[in-house]
């Protein structure tokens, strides 16, 4: 192993290379010593002392002669700019331009949102939410894909914990039974969680051929698991969480009902495709014959209110695109970078 002296030289050498040296000859000499030390590993003490002394002398002389750096990047007329290569000039200008953009972004004040539903006042849905959370015998666990969590404007999952008392949301790409306490609790009881996901082995809740199995599920404490995301994202979560899925009983239902989403806001792959909230409401009604009627009504009412508010806001204003064109953004960034580069290194 390297001796403490070689470690000391390495730290000093790192500090030296981080400083700006005008004497290129000394810098290259010390860099060669550092490369030699790293290449040889353990070397004789005489060479270590030589490299250590040279590095220390160079750092002391640099700190004594170098002026204190300023916090501004502007240059005075009588100052001579340091000699940087073209690549370093571009990096410095890009860093300054990026700092300006970050300061502008942080200076913007966030818009006001509702404390309960976390939505802006024009899109608040609190009027459609129940005063008290609805308690159902079925617990709901939503496995949400991270990309779906970023689609907050039209996502239905944030509404569900505001209506249902027994509702939990977990975000991730893959899940295991050990990291989900609710799943581990039901498995410890010897009870399989119900996974709402279509498949050849899934039990149909509204099919006459599976009446006996459905009756075993109804009006009992069950754990209903849903995967939130697009069909491709949901399949990805399913395939990456096969250990968890193997411990669940897949269920499905057949419904001719169309989604509350209008095509102007979100277009479903098929007419019979429903959102996560609508699928949960329909499954709760089939699992709890009488107890989930209120829950289904309040869930769909909250979603309908969200859609109506979104449509009314879209019609009232001439909506501009949320994100600017990529080529335009790149042009503006490069333009500002060239301006800063010209100002600093004219």
| Residue 158: per-residue pLDDT | 92
The predicted structure's pLDDT at residue 79: 47
Q: What is the pLDDT of residue 143?
A: 94
CA distance 42 to 18: 24
Give yes or no for a contact between 249 and 195, defined as CB atoms under 8 angstroms apart: yes
Distance from C-alpha of 64 to C-alpha of 45, rounded to nearest angstrom = 28
What is the predicted pLDDT for the residue at 345?
A: 78
Cβ neighbours of residue 203 closer than 8 Å, sequence gap 6 or more: 210, 213, 214, 249, 250, 251, 252
Question: What pLDDT score does 201 carry?
Answer: 86
pLDDT at 21: 44
> Residue 1 has what pLDDT?
44
- Residue 39: the pLDDT is 52
Instruction: Point out the residues of the chain with pLDDT beneath 50.
Output: 1-7, 9, 18-23, 41-45, 47, 66-81, 322
Each residue of 137-160: pLDDT tens digit? 899 999 999 888 877 778 899 999
Strand arrangement, sheet containing 138-144: 167-171, 138-144, 222-228, 194-196, 249-252, 203-204
What is the predicted pLDDT for the residue at 228?
A: 93
Structure tokens at 180: 């989900």
Give the length of the chain.
346
Q: Which residues contact 284 (CB under 8 A, 6 or more apart)?
A: 136, 138, 140, 224, 292, 295, 296
Q: 86-107 and 326-344 helices cross at what angle (nearest 10)?
A: 120
Q: What is the model's pLDDT at position 44?
A: 47
Q: Does the global pTM surpass 0.75? A: no
Distance between CA 280 and CA 255 in Å, rounded? 13
């Amino acid at each position: 192993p390297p001796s403490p002296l070689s470690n000391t030289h390495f730290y000093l050498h790192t500090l030296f290379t981080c400083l700006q040296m005008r004497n290129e000859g000394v810098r290259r000499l010390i860099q060669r010593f550092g490369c030699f030390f790293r290449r040889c590993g353990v070397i004789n003490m005489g060479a270590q002392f030589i490299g250590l002394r040279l590095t220390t002398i160079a750092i002391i002389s640099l700190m004594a002669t170098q002026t204190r750096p300023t916090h501004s990047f502007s240059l005075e007329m009588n100052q001579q700019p340091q000699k940087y290569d073209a690549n370093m000039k571009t990096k410095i200008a890009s860093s300054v331009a990026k700092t300006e953009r970050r300061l502008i972004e942080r200076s913007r004040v966030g818009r006001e949102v509702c404390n309960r539903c976390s939505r802006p006042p024009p899109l608040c849905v609190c009027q459609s939410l129940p005063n008290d959370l609805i308690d159902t015998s079925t617990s709901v666990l939503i496995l949400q894909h991270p990309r779906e969590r970023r689609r907050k404007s039209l996502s239905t999952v944030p509404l569900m914990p505001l209506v249902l008392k027994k509702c939990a949301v977990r975000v991730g790409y893959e899940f295991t039974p050990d990291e989900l306490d609710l799943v581990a609790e039901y498995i410890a009881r010897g009870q399989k969680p119900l996974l709402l996901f279509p498949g050849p082995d899934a039990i149909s809740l509204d099919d006459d051929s599976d009446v006996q199995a459905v009756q075993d599920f109804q009006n009992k404490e069950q754990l209903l698991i849903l995967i939130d995301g697009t069909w491709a994202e949901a399949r990805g979560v399913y395939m990456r969480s096969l250990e968890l899925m193997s411990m669940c009983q897949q269920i499905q239902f057949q419904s001719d009902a169309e989604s509350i989403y209008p095509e102007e806001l979100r277009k479903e792959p098929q007419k019979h495709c429903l959102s996560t909230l609508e699928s949960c409401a329909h499954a709760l009604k089939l699992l709890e014959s009488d107890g989930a009627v209120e829950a289904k009504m309040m869930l769909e009412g909250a979603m309908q209110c969200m859609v109506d508010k979104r449509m009314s806001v879209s019609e009232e204003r001439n909506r501009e695109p949320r994100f600017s064109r990529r080529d335009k953004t790149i042009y503006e960034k490069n333009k500002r970078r060239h301006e800063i580069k010209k100002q600093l290194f004219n």
